[in-house]
Amino acid sequence: MPISLHVNGEQHLVDVAPTRRLLAVLREDLALTGAKHGCGEGACGACAVLLDGRAVVSCLLPVAAAEGRELTTIEGLGETAAALQEAFVEEDALQCGFCTPGQIVSASALLAAVDRPDREEIRTAMAGNICRCGAYPKIERAILRASGQVVR
Ligand code: FES
Ligand code: FES
C-alpha cells in the first residue's frame, strides 16, 4: 500500500505494509541508517526520530502512523545537530557511539523546547535514551555545553 512520508524536508512514496515499523522503512527503504536498531522494543531510544518535532521511538511505530506528518531523522537535523555533535566530541560523550544518534535526536527536541535546560530537565528529557557504555555524565555536560551553559 503506497504511503506518503515527509522526511527531512522531502516527500517519499513507499509501497509497504502499513504496519511495517517506521525504523525498518527509514533504514531499508529510504537508506536513512542514522537511527539505529537497538532493543527493537521501545526501551533504548537508539531509534529515536522527531515526529512533528517530538522525539519518538521508531522501532515500534507503524509506518502508517507517520503519514502526513513531519519526520526528521538525525540526517536532517541540521545546525542543532551540528552544535550537539561538536559538544559531544568536546565532552567525549561517546564510547562505541551506537546510542549517539538517538541521544542527539532527543537532545535536539529538548533544546528546541527549552533554551537552557537545567540538569534535572536534561535527565528527564533523556530518560528514554539508554547508553550501555554509561556515558551519561558526559552526555549531560555535552547538552549543557551545546545550550551555551558553563560546564564545570
Ligand atoms: Fe527502538 Fe530500542 S531500538 S527503542
Ligand atoms: Fe556506547 Fe552509548 S556510547 S552505547
Would you kindly state where each structural domain of the chain is located, as residue ranges? 2-75, 78-146
User: Which residue's alpha carbon is nearest to atom 2 within ligand 2?
Assistant: 131
- Verify whether ligand 2 is closer than 6 Å to residue 151 (CB atom): no
Q: What global pTM score does this model have?
A: 0.96
Q: What pLDDT is recorded for position 88?
A: 97
Question: In testing the pocket of ligand 1, which one of 39, 49, 51 has its CB within 8 Å of the most ligand atoms?
Answer: 39
What pLDDT, on the 0 to 100 scale, is given for residue 31?
98
Answer yes or no: same fold for 2-75 and 78-146: no
Burial of 79 (0-12, 13-18, 19+ CB in 10 A): exposed
pLDDT at 35: 98
Task: Please report which ligand is nearest the Cα atom of 36.
Answer: 1
pLDDT of 83 reads 93
> Which parts of the chain have pLDDT scores under 50?
none
Task: Provide CATH code, domain 78-146.
Answer: 1.10.150.120
Q: How far is the CA of 1 from the centre of ligand 2 (A)?
A: 36
Q: Where are the alpha helices (H) located in 43-98, listed in sequence order?
A: 79-90
Could you read off the pLDDT of 66-92 as tens digits, one per residue? 999 999 999 999 887 899 999 999 999
Candidate CATH numbers 3.10.20.30, 3.20.20.70, 3.40.50.300, 3.40.50.1370; the one for domain 2-75: 3.10.20.30
Q: Return phi, psi of residue 60, to 5°.
A: -105, -10
